[in-house]
């Protein structure tokens, strides 16, 4: 029987550096399957700057926790053997493992090199603030701990387009590397913020260099075969030449087939920019619905002054649901992070109902929302609120959807079920006072008694001969009404 797709982002920023996370994930596989998760997005699995690194300070893509490098054999999350075991455990439960791929930059180089740069205005990277001059910087990677196992490629300054630290003069800045065919990626293929947002951090990879392109294609083929990952989440793609990204994904799909699932992080709340990016990559992969996250965040901050009828305005899931990956929060939106915009606690159940119980998009369950931040102390863990929504998605969120978005505070929708999943649901939520929504569940539900699956309302409602009823909701709350006999 077909079930709704669900991604779980199985990490958050503040996980402990205990090397136990791959074991936790393997042990959790059965439970994840039971709550309807069929895709797990892993944190970056590669050797980073240290075991304290969440994984985005990538050092060696070929070291999956196998070699003594940067202070340890393991990554923050465990060693390679434990990683492979976790992947296998998920697959045995029918869950697709998805790797977080960080290609934009490399960090914590093994040696320094001298080369020419222009120092650029950080607020307008098109504008130089110096003449060309020599610097010494950390751009040489030869991975001595790995000793050329799997691959003997070494990275040099000419494989990068920029750097932010001149070690020779002990000076920070944004330095564009000079040389044959060097410079930032063309304006048309990266985000235009700061004049040209090719440079993000560390040693910025030059995707115009043919050796780099060839090396990364070779690496991706090895990586998928070595691990058994069945999808990629692409990090920071607004900083990466979209011509390279498109070609890279095409090569991947050609080798591993159309079921290899790819989605990308193009972090720009401007809905138009997202649509233009999707068109420019010919809809080769899905994107996170950043606009929807920002709407959910704004709604949670605004309380009853937010017009709930507009919650899906200018979102991917509304305008292009086939390529939308929806989410409430993630590791970057957590408090203290670069894109800090956590949805307020009171609105968490509303927000997840809006992505889990509707048609369109593939929703993401965030580890930090489900298990809490900082494993063990369970700060702001919402598992009790989210588990019933996950069961509703598994059993009741199927079939035609009818929206009742006709009130600024109180909105609702019905899902009318299918032959395979005949039990529908009626969802009603408000950011204001107690209220109700008049909705229809169709004549197949005539005279049935409905109750709130979430337990937020204690009424028992009897539908009329046409399957219509007033479905109530408490102030600032959510209720999901289902047939009493179906529970």
Over the stretch 188-239, which tens digit does the pLDDT of each residue have? 889 999 999 999 999 999 999 999 999 999 999 999 999 999 999 999 899 9
| CA 119 to centroid of chain Cα atoms | 33
- Given a contact cutoff of 8 angstroms between Cβ atoms, the answer to whether 48 and 105 are in contact is no
Confidence at residue 377, expressed as pLDDT on a 0 to 100 scale: 52
CA distance linking residue 315 with residue 289, whole number of Å: 7
The strand pair at 324-327 and 362-366 is best described as: parallel
What contacts 210, CB < 8 A, 6 or more positions away? none
Structure tokens at 13: 């920023």
| Segment 423-428 mean pLDDT | 97
Confidence at residue 1, expressed as pLDDT on a 0 to 100 scale: 61
Q: What is the pLDDT of residues 300-327, one digit of tens each?
A: 999 999 999 999 999 999 999 999 999 9
What is the dihedral sign for C-alpha 379, 385, 387, 389?
negative
Per-residue DSSP letter, 417: B
> How many residues make up the chain in this entry?
487
Catalytic position from the list 66, 198, 235, 369: 235
Catalytic position from the list 28, 100, 265, 369: 265
Which has the closest alpha carbon to 179: 138, 215, 209?
209
Q: Would you call 152 a catalytic residue per the annotation? A: no
Q: What is the pLDDT of residues 336-347, one digit of tens each?
A: 888 999 999 999
Cα distances from 116 to residues 104, 126, 161, 197, 297, in angstroms, run: 21, 17, 11, 21, 44
CA distance linking residue 401 with residue 302, whole number of Å: 27
CA atoms within 13 A on the CB side of 171: 10
Rounded (10°) CA dihedral 355, 280, 106, 11: 10
Q: What is the pLDDT of residues 126-158, one digit of tens each?
A: 999 999 999 999 999 999 999 999 999 999 999
- Given a contact cutoff of 8 angstroms between Cβ atoms, the answer to whether 288 and 265 are in contact is yes
CA distance linking residue 185 with residue 199, whole number of Å: 9
Q: Would you call 265 a catalytic residue per the annotation? A: yes
């Amino acid at each position: 029987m077909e079930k709704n797709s669900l991604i779980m982002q199985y990490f958050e920023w503040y996980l402990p550096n205990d090397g136990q996370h791959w074991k936790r994930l393997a042990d959790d596989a059965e439970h994840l399957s039971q709550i309807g998760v069929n895709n797990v997005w892993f944190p970056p699995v590669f050797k980073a700057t240290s075991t304290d690194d969440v994984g985005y300070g990538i050092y060696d893509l070929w070291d999956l926790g196998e070699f003594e490098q940067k202070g340890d054999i393991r990554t923050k999350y465990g060693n390679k053997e434990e990683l492979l075991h976790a992947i296998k455990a998920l697959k045995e439960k029918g869950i697709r493992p998805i790797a977080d791929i960080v290609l934009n930059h490399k960090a914590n180089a093994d040696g320094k090199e001298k080369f020419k740069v222009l120092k650029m205005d950080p607020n307008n990277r098109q504008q130089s603030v110096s003449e060309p001059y020599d610097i010494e910087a950390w751009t040489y990677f030869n991975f001595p701990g790995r000793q050329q196992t799997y691959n003997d490629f070494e990275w040099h300054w000419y494989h990068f387009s920029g750097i932010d630290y001149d070690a020779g003069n002990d000076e920070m800045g944004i330095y564009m590397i000079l040389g044959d065919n060097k410079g930032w990626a063309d304006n048309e293929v990266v985000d235009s913020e700061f004049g040209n947002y090719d440079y993000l951090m560390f040693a910025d990879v030059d995707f115009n260099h043919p050796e780099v392109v060839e090396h990364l294609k070779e690496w991706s083929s090895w990586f998928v075969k070595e691990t058994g990952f069945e999808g990629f989440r692409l990090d920071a793609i607004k900083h990466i030449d979209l011509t390279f990204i498109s070609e890279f994904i095409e090569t991947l799909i050609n080798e591993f087939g159309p079921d290899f699932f790819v989605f990308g992080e193009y972090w720009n709340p401007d809905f138009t920019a997202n649509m233009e990016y999707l068109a420019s990559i010919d809809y080769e992969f899905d994107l996170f619905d950043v606009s929807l996250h920002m709407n959910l965040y704004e709604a949670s901050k605004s309380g009853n002054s937010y017009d709930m009828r507009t919650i899906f305005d200018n979102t991917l899931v509304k305008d292009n649901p086939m390529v939308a990956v929806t989410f409430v929060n993630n590791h970057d939106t957590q408090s203290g992070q670069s894109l800090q915009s956590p949805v307020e606690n009171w609105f968490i159940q509303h927000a997840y109902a809006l992505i889990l119980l509707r048609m369109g998009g593939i929703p993401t369950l965030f580890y930090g929302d489900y298990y809490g931040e900082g494993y063990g102390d369970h700060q702001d863990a919402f598992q009790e609120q989210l588990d019933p929504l996950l069961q509703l998605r598994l059993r009741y969120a199927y079939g035609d959807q009818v929206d009742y978005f006709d009130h600024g505070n109180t909105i609702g929708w019905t899902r009318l079920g299918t032959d395979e999943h005949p039990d529908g649901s009626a969802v009603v939520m408000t950011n204001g006072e107690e209220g109700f929504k008049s909705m229809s569940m169709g004549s197949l539900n005539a005279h049935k008694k409905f109750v709130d699956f979430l337990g937020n309302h204690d009424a028992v409602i009897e539908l009329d001969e046409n399957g219509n009823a007033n479905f109530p909701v408490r102030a600032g709350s959510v209720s999901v009404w289902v047939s009493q006999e179906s529970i």
